[in-house]
Copies of this chain bind each other. A is one copy, B any other.
Amino acid sequence: MAEPESKKVKVDGTTKEAIKDEQQGTARANMDRTLQGWYSELSPMWPGQALSLKMDKILFEDRSDFQDVVVFESSTWGRVLVLDGVIQLTQRDEASYQEMIAHLPLCSIEPPKKVLVVGGGDGGVLREVSRHASLEQIDIVEIDGMVIDVAKKFFPDVAIGYEDPRVNVHVADGVKFLKETTPGTYDAIIVDSSDPIGPAQQLFERPFFESMAKALRPGGVVCTQAESIWLHLPIIKDLAQACSHTFKGGSVNYAFTSVPTYPSGIIGFMLCSTAGPKVDFKHPKNPIDDSKNANKNLQPLKYYTKELHTAAFQLPKFAQDALKDLLTS
């Protein structure tokens, strides 16, 4: 592609941008951009597209035993947590993800007593889980202790979930933890994982789902992060296939929510129940009552409503067509 005239001038970043600004409001001004001071989320998981956020300041940058961990202050989305180059959450839109991944399963069953969170080291899922007053035990198994420490330091409104006295933290491998769990222990398991490359890969594989099914009581539920219907329909189909095999006699469903800073602007969840008392995910039976939050310091819900719960299962026609034989109606 031919370079615009202005780009041929040998100047520093600032001057280049100034020249570009003369073309503001044209497509040309937005081509071949030098995004100095911006974060551009490129990944082989979503080739040819990238969300960029303007950075005000890098607050933390290190490598744990498992991954590259970075926190930066963005100009308009608040603080951002990045693992292995992929945006995990921003302060401005994290609620839609955390609330939906927690309340879609927990509001679908009789008031639960024991819950396990796999991954979710930032504490956001814990925060949402802890709204449920019925819970007696909240376990979390996160492989990377650095993520927990970083969340507590830089994302106090997210990591507030750790303050709940019902929470037991296990810094360990979730796959191994679940293999060793006494069968029938949990009412619900929530898997807040990163993408199926890197440390989270096994969390998308069939043996892991079989361990979860065993660890659940009859009619217990699992909710796992399950990518975007726009970008990863083949991954979702494979997952649905594995689940329909593993959760025979129960149910398998898929819902999605809007998260602007995730690739394609949405993310989905695979929801399954084991054989036992019937779970109808689309018509929740355990409404959440914000006024009964065990932790009085929690902000009210920002995203989840009972009506949105049901609406989240209505898939666009192209996704419905692709998944209809694998999902429970």
Residues of A within 8 A of B (CB): 1, 24-42, 46-55, 57-58, 61, 63, 68, 70, 72, 74-77, 82, 84-85, 92-93, 96, 198, 228, 230-231, 256, 258-260, 262-266, 300-305, 307-308, 310-312, 314-318, 320
Contacts and interface: CB of A to CB of B under 8 A. Distances in A.
**Residue from A27, A70, A92, A266 whose CB has the most chain B CB atoms within 10 Å:** A27
Contacts of A263: 260
Nearest to A44: B24
Contact of A39 (B27, B54, B96, B300): B27
Contact of A316 (B48, B256, B305): B305
A259 to B, nearest CB: 8
A47 B244 CA distance: 43
A288 to B, nearest CB: 11
Copies in the complex: 2
Contacts of A40: 30-31, 33, 35, 52
Nearest to A95: B318
Given A30-B85, A49-B76, A50-B51, 4 more contacts: A27-B70, A29-B85, A34-B34, A303-B318
B316 A1 contact: no
B42 A30 contact: yes
Contact of A85 (B26, B41, B72, B228): B26
**Residue from A50, A262, A318 whose CB has the most chain B CB atoms within 10 Å:** A50
Contacts of A320: 305
B316 A314 contact: no
Contacts of A265: 258-260, 262, 264-266
A195 to B, nearest CB: 11
Contact of A37 (B1, B27, B39): B1
Contacts of A305: 314, 316-317, 320
A317 B303 CA distance: 5
A93 B26 CA distance: 22
Given A48-B53, A316-B302, A317-B304, A82 B27 contact: yes
Contacts of A37: 1, 32
**Residue from A34, A35, A63, A307 whose CB has the most chain B CB atoms within 10 Å:** A35
A74 B96 contact: no
Contacts of A70: 26-28
Given A260-B265, A265-B260, A54 B49 contact: yes
16 contacts: A24-B85, A27-B61, A30-B40, A31-B38, A31-B40, A32-B37, A32-B38, A34-B35, A46-B76, A47-B75, A49-B52, A51-B52, A258-B316, A303-B317, A307-B314, A311-B314
Nearest to A260: B264
A8 to B, nearest CB: 12
